[in-house]
Amino acid sequence: MVTIRLTRRGARNQPFYHVVVTDHRKRQGGKSLEMVGFFNPVARKNDTKIRLDLDRIEYWVGKGAQQSERVSALVKAYRKQSVAAAA
């Protein structure tokens, strides 16, 4: 099964997460099929906090990929944010 999940990058006390599409049997930091975005929970004023490629996420979900709980919450919030920015 293919899953869309976060993989942690960054230094100690400076977390940075890549949103990746990977086989669920692979370890967290292992090789992934595709990187579809990033999440920076400690972003400063002008830094981008989150960026997702929604088209690619929808493609993978259409192919049967499962999103982790955290990724689905991030996607929902990102969609809400992009709709508000467009209006």
Residue 24: predicted pLDDT: 83
* Model pLDDT, residue 84: 81
CATH superfamily of domain region 2-86: Ribosomal protein S16 (3.30.1320.10)
pTM: 0.87
The pLDDT, as a whole number, for residue 32 is 83
Identify the CA nearest to 56 among candidates 83, 37, 81: 37
Give SS3 for 86. helix
Which pLDDT does position 43 carry in this prediction?
86
- Work out whether strand 2-11 and strand 66-67 pair parallel, antiparallel, or are unpaired: parallel
Domain boundaries along the sequence of the chain = 2-86
* Local confidence pLDDT in tens for the 87 residues of the chain: 899 999 998 889 899 999 999 988 877 777 888 999 999 998 888 888 899 999 999 999 999 999 999 999 999 999 988 888 776
